[in-house]
Amino acid sequence: MSDYDVLVIGAGAAGIAAARCLQQQGLAVQVLEASREPGGRAHSERTSFGYAFDCGAHWFHSPADNPLRAAADALGVAYASRPYPAHWYRDGALLSVAENADCAQAIEDGFARIVALGKAAADQPAAAALAPDAPWAPAMAAEFTAKQGVAPARGSCRDFSRYQWKGEDLPLVDGFGELLRRLAHGLPIALDSPVTQIDWRNARGVQVHGPRGTLRARRVIVTASTGVLASGVLQFLPALPARTQEAIHRLPMGHCNKLALAFKQPVFEDIGPVLLVPAGADAEPLELLLRPAGQALAVAIVSGEFGRALAAAGLDAARDLVLGQLVSLFGSAVTRALAPSQRLVNWDAAPWVRGYVAAPGPGDADARAWLAEPVGERIFFAGEATSLTAMGDAHGAWRSGEAAAAAAARGLA
């Protein structure tokens, strides 16, 4: 006898979407979330800086076709109505208007070449589409790494070519985590409830074990990241089929971490995001989000191997590096204005995420579809890693949760 029709593991975007769908169909659903709050990689902190700071997701990508944007409209969660134009800088100075346009065009052309190569018969690393000595090559490599979490040499052209991007990115003013918190409101979510084992030996259902006990259900939707799935902290009994295990192995996590620094008074011009043109081809992807005057907060986003190593080096090292960049741009007043509120978010060290988003290497893009295949008609995987067209994005995770819920509900009502 089952306690539930469907158990959902994880209350991030995919898990919340799945639970809402299942609940709307009148099915008995329970969500088990390992951490103390819903949202997963879309998590906002409201207290330490006095206003929303997004530790993870911050922008609506493809706002023209993003179901979460419609949800924000319905729930009154504020987001910018227009994108903030990005400026590139190097050696402590913003590029001129002409140079900035040149750099942006080179990046657009580089992305177009990756997409074209991605449609060829054999997949190749994104680096194959980029001439390392071309003008703006380091900026191009940094932009790719910021999006994918891995350098072009590690990224798949095929995977990149499948990503569908419609419209310009819009940042959430109230916080992406705040949106998911409101979308999770009223759902049956047990927080602080890590699942350690899914026993699917019985063809009629699953038993889900954790420190809080055992629950039985007819089906289970698993939304944990591929970083968590690969780590073995969540065991399957019997082991997952070889194809699913192979999919997890072929979807390792990229890296993207954040540092937020507060200042006692506004010390920046209101210029929107600024991105570093790295000195060489070994990209050091660094983006600084400088809050408009009155909100003296700098958020540094560091990606790829550089971002992994910087976050691992700890708060002092990360702050020194970012402060050095800010001083080079705005002068030493920045250091004097630094406030004690400082927050390093290291997603690689977050035990229930273990990285940024899934980043398949050359030849591995199809692993996303393999992971999305139901196992034994009772285990359904969802999450950003399983999205085929909005991979790595919160709305891709959301749609994958809806798809998994539809598949899991089949024949249950």
Ligand X SMILES: Cc1cc2nc3c(=O)[nH]c(=O)nc-3n(C[C@H](O)[C@H](O)[C@H](O)COP(=O)(O)OP(=O)(O)OC[C@H]3O[C@@H](n4cnc5c(N)ncnc54)[C@H](O)[C@@H]3O)c2cc1C
**Neighbour tally for 290: CB within 10 Å:** 24
> By CB under 6 A, which span of 9-17, 20-28, 87-95, 371-379 interacts with ligand X?
9-17
* CB closer to ligand X, 95 vs 359: 359
Among 154, 202, 121, residue whose Cα is nearest residue 305? 154
Q: Smallest distance from the beta carbon of 333 to ligand X, in angstroms?
A: 29
Tell which residue, 137, 176, 164, 145, has the closest CA to residue 359: 145
Which one, 9 or 260, has the nearer CB to ligand X? Answer: 9
Q: Which residues contact 249 (CB under 8 A, 6 or more apart)?
A: 230
Residues in 355-394 at the binding interface with ligand X, rule: CB under 6 A = 356-357, 383-384, 392-394
Look at the alpha carbons of 360, 362, 364, 369 in this order and tell me if their dihedral is positive or negative: positive
Per-residue DSSP letters for 91-147? TTEEPPHHHHHHHHHHHHHHHHHHHHHHTSSS--BGGGGS-TTSTTHHHHHHHHHHH
Q: Does 159 bind ligand X (CB under 6 A)?
A: no
Of 33 and 143, the one with the shorter C-beta distance to ligand X is 33
9 binds ligand X (CB under 6 A): yes
Q: Which of 8, 170, 224, 247 is in the footprint of ligand X by CB under 6 A?
A: 224
Give, in degrees to the nearest 5, the angle at Cα 150 between 402 and 365. 50
The span from the CA of 265 to the CA of 293, in Å, is: 9
**Per CB under 6 A, 12 contacts ligand X:** yes
Q: Among residues 325, 318, 320, which one has the least CA distance to residue 288?
A: 325
Query: DSSP H helical segments within 134-257, as ranges?
Result: 137-148, 157-162, 176-184, 226-231, 242-249
- Assign 367 to helix, strand or coil: helix
Closest CB to ligand X among 11 and 375? 11
Give the nearer residue to ligand X in terms of CB position, either 127 or 189: 189
Which SS3 state, helix, strand or coil, does residue 280 take? Answer: coil
Residue in 10, 155, 205, 252 binding ligand X, rule: CB under 6 A? 10
- If binding is defined by CB under 6 A, does position 258 make contact with ligand X? yes
CB of 49 to ligand X, least distance (A): 16
Specify the stretch interacting with ligand X by CB under 6 A; choose among 71-79, 220-228, 331-339, 403-411: 220-228
SS3 content of the chain, % helix, strand, coil (to 5): 35, 20, 40
Question: Binding to ligand X by residue 53, rule CB under 6 A?
Answer: no
> Least CB distance from residue 135 to ligand X, whole Å?
28
Number of residues forming the site for ligand X (CB under 6 A): 40
Return the residues of window 227-256 that contact ligand X according to CB under 6 A.
Answer: 228, 234, 256
Q: How far is the CB of 300 from ligand X (least distance, A)?
A: 11
Beta strands 206-210 and 213-222: pairing type?
Answer: antiparallel
Stretch that binds ligand X, among 18-26, 222-230, 291-299, 316-324 (CB under 6 A): 222-230
What count of Cα atoms within 13 Å lies in the side-chain half-sphere of residue 345?
26
Instruction: Pick the binder of ligand X from 145, 148, 156, 225 (CB under 6 A).
Output: 225
Alpha-carbon span 350 to 40, nearest angstrom: 10
- 221 makes contact with ligand X (CB under 6 A): no
Return the beta strands (E) in 330-384 as ranges. Answer: 338-345, 379-381
State CA 187 to chain mean position distance. Answer: 23
Instruction: Give 362 or 383: the residue with its C-beta nearer to ligand X.
Output: 383
Closer residue to ligand X, CB minimum distance, 130 or 403:
403
Residues 72-131 that bind ligand X (CB under 6 A): none
- Min CB(359)–ligand X separation in Å: 12
Per CB under 6 A, the list member of 59, 163, 236, 370 interacting with ligand X is 59
Chain residues binding ligand X by CB under 6 A are: 9-15, 32-35, 40-42, 56-59, 61, 194-195, 223-225, 228, 234, 256, 258, 347, 352-353, 356-357, 383-384, 392-395, 397
